Structure 1
Amino acid sequence: MQRVVRAELDLDVEGELDLILSVAVAAGVPVAHERLTLERNGQDLVPTVMTDAAGTRLHRIRVGAGPVRVRYDARVEGGAERRSASELDTAVYLRPSRYAPSDSVFGQARRQFGGLRGSDLLAAVEAYVAETVTYSPGLSLGTDSAVTTLATGQGVCRDYAHLVIALLRAMDVPARYVACYAPGLVPMDFHAVAEAWIDGRWLVVDATRLSNRRSLVRIATGRDAADCAFLSYYGANLALPRMIVDAHVEGDGDAVAAASDPLRDDRTELISLA
């Protein structure tokens, strides 16, 4: 099974700034082909590449005013090697964070999920968030946390992921945020899911139920969305007049076709991000 991913960003930079991109697939993802280009006024720009402890690859560059074109495409063949959790991971991903303040939902989590452990807890949290939150593009803000989502019952993928993460952490389960490409996602965009450390492996949770977890391609991993923004900039302003994200599965056979169909993801199955 091959997964083909693509992102196109057209930026209008208003002044000199520090630009940081997180659109490339994570380190360790097996790519058969990959290309990232940054261009301004017909000239190629060469960014600095940085990789964090979780495997997130950041491309950083100082640019001046003017239009900047970002183009990324990759062909992923096979699955990434599974990473274990370090002692540091299981400490950091238990702590409350900016958008997943598990201490603020502690009482709700304990009342709702008291007595549940392991995969039973994971299934219960996924079902609770899926059934109580309505996917509502345009109605949530980038500053909303899991507390807001719990109160309003609406949000987009990042809000679902934050609420899952906060509830799991409140139940003493290490949980983290993953930005990814998601073949078959409608509407197509960068996607966000949660991962939980259960029984010695990271398991994927997508409470939006809009993706097939088998086809997801990891981009960035962190405590919450603050660690995984696809675009960050400092020093001036910019506009993003055009953005295209695309991801699809290529190959022969029904199994390949099924891998990009969210309706054919068995939600009872425990899956690690490939």
Structure 2
Amino acid sequence: MKFKVNADLKYKINSESSIILSIHALKTEQKIISEQLLISPETDFKELLSTAEANRLVSLALKPTENLSISYEATVENAFIIKEIEAFSDVNIAKLPGDVLTYLNPSRYCQSDKLYRLANNMFGYKKDDFEKVQALTYWIYLNVEYLSGSTNSETSAYDTVTEQAGVCRDFAHLGIALCRALTIPARYFTGYAYQLVPQDFHACFEAYINGQWLLFDATRLIPLNGMVKIAIGRDAADAAVANIFGDVSFISSVVTCGLLDNDFEPFYQHHENRMAISYS
């Protein structure tokens, strides 16, 4: 599927500062047909790759200005596979690839070590890892209210399971933490999302199941095959849209994701079957 994505960000720069942006579509299996980054006023910047996840970053060195405008636009053909997951025996942890092992550990926003008992009491009896992740994703959907403005940049998975309210970032963090508490590797996934209302960046999570990364979204706000991947990481700290260093005031953001094809058939994961989607 081809999508046109756009992000327009505006900031007030009050003193010499730096911003590290992560708004570019990933160059993974998805194909970037065209893209353009415009910055006004003209500003020195450089493109970087994060060493661990190969997320595409833009580093900006900024001087004081009333209105810094950043506009990214791209046409992207996303890449996904929808498949039926057969029953299987869970993979021995000792046989996991080295680059997957880091996604078993607790992280800043995903304190899986604090949720071990909860996760295993509620989902540990399921017959394989896929059923466990399906069950915990559905449980989050049923028990955590999607409530804009209910959380902040310090809210963790432990807070979310206690307060039972949050936004997409919080739903993703809780899903990741519960997976890791069940010894299932899981990572944060952020992207542009088709049919998200209102339009914005969207976060969900991937779980490493039977040798593959599968996408899950406990918010159920979007079709899972309508994502354009931006970044992955241990949690939102690794995949933030903007990391700001200095005296910078956020003004506004406008994000869009439009479909360029006519034969789109939305895929929503259902907790009662074994259909799943992979972007890796």
TM-score of the superposed pair, with normalisation by structure 2 = 0.89
Partner of 2:8: 8
Partner of 1:150: 161
Counterparts of 2:186 and 2:276, CA distance in 1: 15
**Aligned counterpart in structure 2 of residue 133 of structure 1, from 132, 139, 144:** 144
RMSD over aligned CA atoms reads 1.7
Specify the SS of the correspondent of 1:71. Answer: strand
Specify the SS of the correspondent of 2:25. Answer: coil
Indicate how the Cα distance of structure 1 residues 78 and 245 shifts in structure 2: closer, same or farther if over 3 A, else same.
closer
Answer whether contact 1:5 1:181 (CA < 8 A) is retained: yes
Structure 2 letter corresponding to 1:48: K
Q: How do 1:26-105 residues align onto structure 2 when only pairs under 5 Å count?
A: 26-28=26-28, 29-40=30-41, 44-52=42-50, 53-66=52-65, 67-79=67-79, 87-105=97-115
Indicate how the Cα distance of structure 1 residues 212 and 144 shifts in structure 2: closer, same or farther if over 3 A, else same.
same
**Aligned counterpart in structure 2 of residue 207 of structure 1, from 203, 213, 218:** 218
**Aligned counterpart in structure 2 of residue 273 of structure 1, from 256, 265, 279:** 279
Structure 1 letter corresponding to 2:233: G
Query: Could you report, residue by residue, the CA deviation over 1:53-110 in whole angstroms, capped at 9, with x for unpaired residues?
Result: 32210000211100211000100124279xxx97333211000000000001111001
Q: What is the percent sequence identity of the aligned residues?
A: 33
Structure 1 letter corresponding to 2:40: E
Counterparts of 2:221 and 2:23, CA distance in 1: 20
Partner of 1:195: 206
Indicate how the Cα distance of structure 1 residues 181 and 78 shifts in structure 2: closer, same or farther if over 3 A, else same.
closer
Kindly state the Cα deviation for residue 232 of structure 1 after the two structures are TM-superposed.
1.0
Answer whether contact 1:146 1:162 (CA < 8 A) is retained: yes
Counterparts of 2:162 and 2:185, CA distance in 1: 23
Specify the SS of the correspondent of 1:137. Answer: coil
Number of equivalences: 260
Q: Which runs of 5+ in 2 are unaligned?
A: 82-94
TM-score of the superposed pair, with normalisation by structure 1 = 0.90
Indicate how the Cα distance of structure 1 residues 207 and 103 shifts in structure 2: closer, same or farther if over 3 A, else same.
same
Specify the SS of the correspondent of 1:68. Answer: strand
